[in-house]
Amino acid sequence: MNEVASQVEAPAGVNLPIYMDNQATSPLDPRVLEAMMPYLTSKFGNAASRNHSFGWEAEKAVDTAREQVAKLIGATAKEIVFTSGATESDNLAIKGIAEMYRERGNHIVTQVTEHKAVLDTCKRLEKYGYRVTYLPVKADGVIDLEDLKRAIDEKTILVTIMAANNEIGVLQPIREIGWLCHEKGVLFHSDAVQAIGKAPFHVIDDYVDVASISAHKIYGPKGVGALYVRRRNPRVQIAAQIDGGGHERGMRSGTLNVPGIVGLGKACEIALAEMDTEAAYLRGLRDRLEARIEADLDFVHVNGSMEHRLPGNLNMSFLYVEGESLLMGINDVAVSSGSACTSATLEPSYVLKALGLGDDVAHSSIRFGLGRFNTEAEVDYVAARVVSIVRHLRELSPLYEMVKEGIDLTKVEWQAH
């Protein structure tokens, strides 16, 4: 593999390895680090310490961050609850609503391609007697609104549908979902982690009642996130899942991670100011990557809707190639494969299978996650590397040869030896 790998030279100005896995995490923006530094050093107060200037300074920084997060999504500062990240936010939202509204009903609606933080939380609630409906998605990864309409009944208390998918980048029709939920008097939670700061998301215009946010997907620090909880029309109540000193209006106790919160706030401020230009830039990079790969390879296709999609996401299947082998071949580029990114097993991605893809196609998939700091030169290098490795792997594949000769693989009777 190495002699093939060396066929593509990295041009001047391209530093290896190249990071293209921004849906997994994004690098910390230097401006975010700069905002955080004082709170990691001299301004180390506890935001709950009300008796001296160290505490007041920390509390003021947290208040500023609350405003910055709220502004990005069209909320008010009082509607922002800080957490340790999106997984906690999803758990707090879903379990907290389920507990608080138990008198009203026990039915929750979600969809099959949600993040594990949502799916596993719903599975936990099923053990406690809640009913959960898992909506299918169409071949493009988008839910059918008619399915959602049919799923809601008089016992439904919550619909939880993500704004954008972490694997295929597909955007769900959040506004239509929110409107439908409000019409039926059902609360609507959205895991908006991948969408916020990258695609338009406005809690009032989109009728969202509760939304999960994470800092490290928008060039902020890891280990900090937020939950938006609507205060009026309707006022949403959430039962705390972590008890203690009654921090965050009693919804989430625990000493606040002040430097992390400052970082999240700054990341949101930057996203608000730069989202439109950045989205256009990323869309350009993504389309360039797709075009270069498709110009030089056959039997490749994009998974999920191209029309309703995050600007920086490209999830492609390279038929007759193992995704893991391809990853090993392009080991100077950080991307992820369609095989399980959620566990150590080589199960094909449940998201890709939900689109109706066969195991073989799902196994041949790669997710490219383009971000703020990627360049055109990097895209060109990555495209050339991928093309080179795929060609090499296909030379070793008898299946590819048979398909090129016009043999229909579905009609072949394989014999076991």
Do the Cβ atoms of 84 and 248 come closer than 8 Å? no
Of 122, 181, 268, 341, the active-site residue reads 341
Instruction: Please calculate the CA angle 234-239-240 and round it to the nearest 5 degrees.
Output: 130
Say which residues have a Cβ less than 8 Å from residue 236's Cβ, sequence separation at least 6. Answer: 97, 187, 209, 210, 229, 230
Angle, in degrees to the nearest 10, between helices 86-100 and 116-127 = 30
Reference 82, options 239, 230, 205, 258; nearest CA is: 258
Q: Which amino acid is at 251?
A: M
* Angstrom distance (rounded) from CA 339 to CA 200: 30
Which class for 41: exposed (0-12), middle (13-18), buried (19 or more C-beta within 10 A)? exposed
Half-sphere exposure for 106 (CA within 13 Å, toward CB): 7
DSSP characters over 214-273: ESTTTTS-SS-EEEEE--SSSPP----SS-SS-TGGGTS-S---HHHHHHHHHHHHHHHH
268 belongs to the catalytic site = no
The strands making up 365-369's β-sheet, listed across from edge to edge, are: 300-302, 313-318, 365-369, 336-337
Q: Which amino acid is at 321?
A: V
Say which residues have a Cβ less than 8 Å from residue 326's Cβ, sequence separation at least 6. Answer: 318, 337, 364, 366, 386, 389, 390, 393
Reference 366, options 403, 410, 333; nearest CA is: 333
Known catalytic residues are: 341
